């Protein structure tokens, strides 16, 4: 049951690095890096997009595997979010490297693509990373269960709609239209959303573990 306490809350006895889910995470991350670097080297947008698709499909698959086979761990959650940002960074840096090659559906050049990419990477790799790691301050398995801490922050960031907006909207519209200014509007909007979420998180307060006095020698 997805909402059962044993599913939501962490269990120290079940924490381990290697699970079926983390193996999928490692494989899809390596595959994404290879395709992204290959695409940048060959100046191939098709290879870069293939890397992005591998990242998205693999990110869905490792999460579903973890829940289906009950191997969802806090270690795996952190590995997943770090791998997401490595994969994302490889794709977008490769995309910016392609200038001035054209997009699939647009004849516009890519000279200005680095501007929205820089804003998006700051939002995703810095602000969103901090928000995502905050779950470690509570005894839950991953940000997917942050609704037991704060439902508003959860809905904006880790609900299905929140995840889709953060990870897919920017890339899809940028690739489909080739309009750098539209990408910039979306990136700035996402940055504002994350800053508001960060403000809510700081207002909520992040618990600090109790200090354990070490016995004197």
Q: What is the pLDDT of residue 26?
A: 97
Q: What ranges do the domains of the chain cover? A: 5-204
Q: What is the mean pLDDT of the segment spanning 53-69?
A: 95
100-127 confidence digits (pLDDT tens): 554 544 555 556 888 999 999 999 999 9
Q: Which letter, b or e, does each residue of 114-144 get, where b requires 16 or more Cβ atoms within 10 Å of its Cβ? A: bebbebbbebbbebbbebbebbeeeebbbbb
Q: What is the pLDDT of residue 16?
A: 95
Comparison of pLDDT for 98 and 153, the residue scoring more? 153
% of the chain surpassing 70 pLDDT: 90
Q: What is the pLDDT of residue 217?
A: 61
Mean model confidence pLDDT for the chain: 90
Comparison of pLDDT for 32 and 2, the residue scoring more? 32
Q: What is the mean pLDDT of the segment spanning 73-89?
A: 96
Measured distance CA(114)–CA(111) in Å, rounded: 7
| This prediction's pTM | 0.89
Residue 54, judged by CB atoms within 10 A of its CB (0-12, 13-18, 19+), counts as buried
Q: What is the pLDDT of residue 140?
A: 96
Q: What is the total residue count of the chain? A: 217
∠ CA 20-25-29, rounded to 5°: 150
Task: Extract the tokens encoding 96.
Answer: 């910016």
Measured distance CA(77)–CA(43) in Å, rounded: 33
Which residue blocks in 13-44 are alpha helix, DSSP H?
20-42
Task: Extract the tokens encoding 53.
Answer: 């698709």
Q: What is the mean pLDDT of the segment spanning 20-38?
A: 97
Q: What is the pLDDT of residue 39?
A: 94
């Amino acid at each position: 049951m997805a909402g059962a306490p044993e599913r939501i809350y962490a269990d120290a006895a079940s924490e381990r690095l290697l699970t079926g889910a983390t193996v999928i995470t490692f494989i899809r991350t390596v595959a994404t890096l290879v395709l992204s670097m290959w695409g940048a080297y060959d100046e191939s947008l098709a290879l870069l997009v293939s890397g992005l698709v591998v990242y998205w499909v693999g990110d869905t698959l490792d999460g579903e595997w973890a829940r289906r086979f009950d191997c969802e761990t806090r270690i795996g959650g952190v590995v997943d979010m770090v791998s997401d940002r490595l994969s994302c960074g490889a794709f977008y840096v490769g995309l910016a490297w392609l200038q001035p090659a054209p997009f699939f559906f647009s004849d516009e050049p890519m000279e200005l693509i680095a501007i929205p990419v820089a804003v998006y990477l700051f939002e995703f790799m810095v602000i969103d990373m901090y928000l995502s790691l905050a779950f470690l301050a509570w005894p839950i398995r991953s940000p997917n269960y942050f609704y037991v801490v704060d439902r508003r922050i959860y809905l904006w960031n880790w609900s299905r709609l929140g995840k889709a907006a953060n990870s897919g909207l920017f890339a899809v519209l940028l690739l489909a239209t080739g309009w750098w200014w539209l990408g910039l509007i979306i990136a700035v909007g996402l940055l504002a959303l994350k800053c508001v979420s960060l403000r809510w998180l700081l207002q909520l307060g992040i618990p600090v573990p109790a200090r354990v006095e070490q016995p004197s020698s």
